[in-house]
Structure 1
Amino acid sequence: MKMLINGEGRDAVSGRVFPVHNPATGEVVGEAPLGGEDDVRAAVQAAGEAFGDWSAKNPRDRAKVLFFAAEEVRRRNTELGTLLTAEQGKPIREAVDEINGFANILEYYYALSAGERGEYLDLRGYGHTIVRRRPLGICGAIIPWNMPAIIMGWKVGAALAAGNTIVLKPATTAPLTCIRLAEILEGAGLPPGVLNVVTGPGETVGREIARNPGIRKVSFTGEAGTGRQVALDAAPSLKRLTLELGGSDPMIVCDDADIPAAVEGVIRGRFYNCGQVCTAVKRLYVYDSIADEFVRRLKSRVEAIVVGNGMDRGVGMGPLNNRAGFARVTGLVDAARERDEGEIVAGGRTPEGEEYGRGLFFLPTLIAGVPHDSVLFSEEVFGPVLPMATISGLDEALDLANNSRYGLGASVWTRNAEVIARATEELEAGIVWVNQHLRIPPEVPFGGTKESGIGRENGSRALLEYTEEKAVLIRL
């Protein structure tokens, strides 16, 4: 599979490729060109040449491309989902859902794109003022491997609808589906050069996207340390930035919660995509009066999750995506065990069996009674491991929930309107769920506070992030 630059499939300037492995089997499922700085520069040139015509198009005509692409993505969702499972590892049901989610996002921005946004002001003594919004120009997008289709949709949908052109870098462990989706967009009528995909490592391709002075904005999703480096690299050219970084989302279960519903919320919120979601439940706080029943029910559900190859029928959780993530998760659990930080109620190890031998599998893990100062609470555990602690009440819950350098998401489970009002006001997070967790429809602005990043994706506000204002004062 080749990079897509100016509407053409291209090899890297280096002529080299890198393999993409199935994390469930270790098998090579494809190759991608090993791009570098020169490939990014070629993509920037193509994006610059395409910008004038694309930005001048009627917004409705731009939107039609998104609509037709969404139709084709839905028609091919099983094919695309199969490719996504092969390179990323998630169960095929989750993969197809993600592909459909990409289509949902394109349809949403199609629906928003009836005309350019702006405002009119009648200022006495100054005349008439029109505030116009215009596209920024060439934008860069750097996306991770955990939810590549959805996150590509967040960045590409808003940027294209606003009239920008893009240089996109997928993750090296999951680039193939992104290239296919870009090809579908071009097949739906996207002109050559409007969307360019360059594959390769972050230290070359990603850094050139951040540094290149021709790029006006960079949207990055990934680890917080890498996000800081992106910000430093982008600073000399004063690029606009959207940084969606790490999260350590707390889930608070109050004593009046619907316990079965909250247990199911944990199962989906923590173990979906093998726990490799920035907004996954990563810290569980349960009122002590219901803790015994909650742990009993949750243990049963965690142990019932079927782990295996995402293509196999009945599998509820696939492997971790890459060896670095696998080593980090196993290391954190081993360290907690050595320090006697809580009781491993379920999981805590790799599964046994010949079928797991070459894959990056780790059992869904529940650790109860974890001390509040444990690294399992302070660090982002990007995998299927859930630390839990009991709490005495809402004051303690909010103090613990906010005692983190992250502030991406949080949830509270209760039937009490006063608790809901206070929790939604005081939780330091970019998104707060009540009696649910994890789901983010395209209409909802998404982003974090503190070290979870800056800027917002999703929703109508995302279009504003990809435009700049021009004020026009008229006196007749």
Structure 2
Amino acid sequence: MGYETELKLFIDGAWRQGEGDLSPVINPASGDTIAELHLASTANLDEALAAAGRAWPEWRAMDVEKRGAILRKAASLLRERAEPIGRLLTQEQGKPLAEAIGEVMGAAGMFDYFAEEAKRAGGRVLVRPTGQRSIVIPQPVGPTVTFTPWNFPIYLLAKKVAAALAAGCTVISKPPEETPGCTGALARALDDAGIPKGVFQLVHGVPDAVSRQLIGSPVIRKISFTGSTGVGKHLMKLAADGMKRITMELGGHAPVLVFDDCDLDKTLDMLVPQKFRNAGQVCVSPTRFFVQEGIYDAFAKGFAARTAAVKLGNGLDADTRMGPLANQRRLPAIAGLVEDAKAKGARVLAGGEPGDGGFFFQPTVLADVPDHADAMNVEPFGPVALMRSFATEDEALHQANRLPYGLASFVFTENGRRANRLGDALESGMVGINNFAISVADAPFGGVKESGFGSEGGEEGLASYQVTKAIHQA
């Protein structure tokens, strides 16, 4: 099946072609241009802003049951269309089809969850003298703009949009230009579910120009961004001029602490697929593996053997277990990190080279990687596993917390006391202990330090699109 979809913007309830420049859509498995996308013009963005402001009073006043019904219908449509949407996602981004379909299903789950969570967004009554009342209530913050990346273009878009819409906000979303077909399919599901004009809008454009215009508008009250720390800091500065609320889900460099009491084969069987999921292009991807010295050699050997068996190929092929990198620019970036690590003493146990054609890079395992290697300090965001040994728990904890990132950390141990200690001591917004299921609809997702602040998912995710009002009556 070829790449078959219509690439348009969704503004004020209508599908239209952008009036800006053309942007190529490239299949990373081949490097071929498969479509062209017309970007939004300044006028297009102004129209979206006006519509978001105009639609907000009606949407915020709509009964939560009616808002929820629209979100649940969108979830149902996403499930019905999961296979064709997944094919679009694979062709645009590269991940294996099974992962792509799973992402669409996860997005549907987000809409279902927030359709119900909005009903539980209550306030509280304060104790006051007889005849007086003081109440605290949540209210929607207002028109919101979301910026999402290309690694999980549907799921991350849904995570923001579902919560914002459930809270009663109108939304303008700018997803990545690399994946317009699959994100457009999410917008079509909302349109077909009956979302009112102006409540949800989707635009594409030159990132810096779009962010300056949308964030700079007095219409927008809230910004939610997922992406790199550098871009996040830039958007924070733009938001500061308008004192606008922000949620920042930024970069990570997840440590994995593996202790000698773990079930080694079971642990390896979990770790290797997680490391190379989406070609390592995951903000919480396990990347820095610190392994207790007594099992280090066996761990490295087992990890390398399992990595060598990972089938690299086009994500539409049934036997593919890892697809290409999403962008050509990632190839020299990953190669540079590998070469730097080798020059500083790391050993290549598997991979280490680009693949054939397209934007492929082999699943790679580097052992004995020193602290001063660039890859140990800069998020690789690719299919590279870095490992070294440790002797004591304190040493492992120091290594895990050494970097300014603090998004996710993982621990593998059968010692309950150790698990409790490390769960408390690891400096990250999320900790997985013998577990990778940390991005789920009912739990907060977010980081600390330079990995950002604020949460998505769970009741915290809904609250991020609300403001608090206290009303005192005598």
Q: TM-score, normalised by structure 2?
A: 0.96
Structure 2 counterpart of 1:392 = 391
State the distance in 1 between where 2:42 and 2:159 align: 25
State the distance in 1 between where 2:143 and 2:226 align: 18
User: Is 2:296 the partner of 1:291?
Assistant: yes
Deviations 1:378-420 (A, max 9, x none): 1101100111010002110000000001000001000001100
Q: Shift of residue 474 of structure 1?
A: 1.8
Q: Determine which of 7, 14, 39 is the counterpart of 2:13.
A: 7
Structure 1 counterpart of 2:269 = 264
Larger mean Cα displacement after TM superposition, 197-206 or 279-288: 197-206
Residue identity matched to 2:113: Y
Deviations 1:151-186 (A, max 9, x none): 011100100000000110011111221111011111
State the distance in 2 between where 1:376 and 1:258 align: 28
State the distance in 2 between where 1:36 and 1:227 align: 23
State the distance in 2 between where 1:197 and 1:370 align: 43
Structure 1 counterpart of 2:57 = 52
Residue identity matched to 2:337: L
Q: Shift of residue 269 of structure 1?
A: 2.5
Residue identity matched to 1:389: R
The CA RMSD over aligned residues, in Å, is 1.3
Q: Shift of residue 465 of structure 1?
A: 0.7
For the 8 Å contact 1:126–1:473, the answer to whether it is kept is: no
Q: Shift of residue 439 of structure 1?
A: 4.0
Structure 2 counterpart of 1:431 = 430
| Corresponding residue SS for 1:451 | helix
Q: What percentage of residue pairs aligned between the two structures are identical?
A: 37
For the 8 Å contact 2:275–2:285, the answer to whether it is kept is: yes
Structure 2 counterpart of 1:181 = 186
State the distance in 2 between where 1:268 and 1:235 align: 40
State the distance in 1 between where 2:131 and 2:471 align: 11
State the distance in 1 between where 2:96 and 2:249 align: 25
User: Is 2:415 the partner of 1:411?
Assistant: no
| Corresponding residue SS for 1:315 | coil
State the distance in 2 between where 1:192 and 1:17 align: 26
State the distance in 2 between where 1:3 and 1:415 align: 51
State the distance in 1 between where 2:436 and 2:351 align: 22
For the 8 Å contact 1:279–1:438, the answer to whether it is kept is: no
Deviations 1:319-371 (A, max 9, x none): 0000222221111112222x2431000000023xxxx32x0000000000011
For the 8 Å contact 2:340–2:374, the answer to whether it is kept is: no
State the distance in 1 between where 2:443 and 2:144 align: 22
Structure 2 counterpart of 1:65 = 70
Structure 2 counterpart of 1:145 = 150
Q: Shift of residue 125 of structure 1?
A: 7.8
Deviations 1:62-118 (A, max 9, x none): 001110111111011000000000101000000000000000111111121326521
Residue identity matched to 2:133: H
5+ residue gaps, structure 2: 1-6
State the distance in 2 between where 1:56 and 1:217 align: 19
Residue identity matched to 1:214: V
Q: Determine which of 342, 349, 358 is the counterpart of 2:346.
A: 342
The number of residue pairs the alignment matches comes to 468
Larger mean Cα displacement after TM superposition, 175-184 or 451-460: 175-184
State the distance in 2 between where 1:126 and 1:30 align: 66
Structure 1 counterpart of 2:4 = none
5+ residue gaps, structure 1: none
State the distance in 1 between where 2:143 and 2:303 align: 48
User: Is 2:378 the partner of 1:379?
Assistant: yes
State the distance in 2 between where 1:364 and 1:210 align: 39
State the distance in 2 between where 1:126 and 1:269 align: 59
User: Is 2:44 the partner of 1:39?
Assistant: yes
